[in-house]
Amino acid sequence: MLLILILINVVGVIYGRTFYRDSIPNGHSVPNMCYGIIGGRIWAAVGHYDPDHHTQSKNPFALDFAAAHHVWTQALCMKDSDRDGKTNGEELGDPHCTWNIGGPAPIYTATGHPGICEPIGSQVCSNQRFYCGCHDHACVA
């Protein structure tokens, strides 16, 4: 019985991550800017500060996405969740906010992360406490 409960929880976490990534444009190809745009790494846990793992602390985009009931809306697209001067839509490759879940892929690729201010460590992002290389709850100092 315990094994069944564990499996249900694990499947739920995996399914949840995929579902959320499917619910935003280019959700499976958000670049991990800690390695630069050329680095080829993606930010798998888009709503979290740790790029590879779910954390209790959510980044600003995750909070805005939750407030929008986990739906890609015109308002969420036009918002600049991380306050880096680019809208969420611009960063996720949907600058005109025309993408819909289940529709064709956006014609543009994701160029940034909507919940992590970029360039990381720049003057624009000096008010944000995120740093690269963090893990779990240590992602915001």
Strand partners, 58: 48
What is the per-residue pLDDT for 8?
A: 41
What is the per-residue pLDDT for 128?
A: 81
What is the per-residue pLDDT for 49?
A: 87
- Ramachandran region, residue 128 (left: φ > 0; alpha: ψ -120 to 50; beta: rest): beta
Percentage of the chain modeled with pLDDT above 70: 79
Domain of 38, in residue numbers: 1-141
Q: How does pLDDT run across 44-60, given as a tens digit for each residue?
A: 999 998 888 777 889 99
Residues of the chain with pLDDT under 50: 4-16
pTM of the model: 0.82
What is the torsional sign of CA 94, 140, 36, 43?
Answer: negative
d(CA 90, CA 24): 12
d(CA 32, CA 71): 23
Q: How many domains does the chain have?
A: 1
d(CA 82, CA 116): 6
What is the per-residue pLDDT for 130?
A: 78
What is the per-residue pLDDT for 110?
A: 96
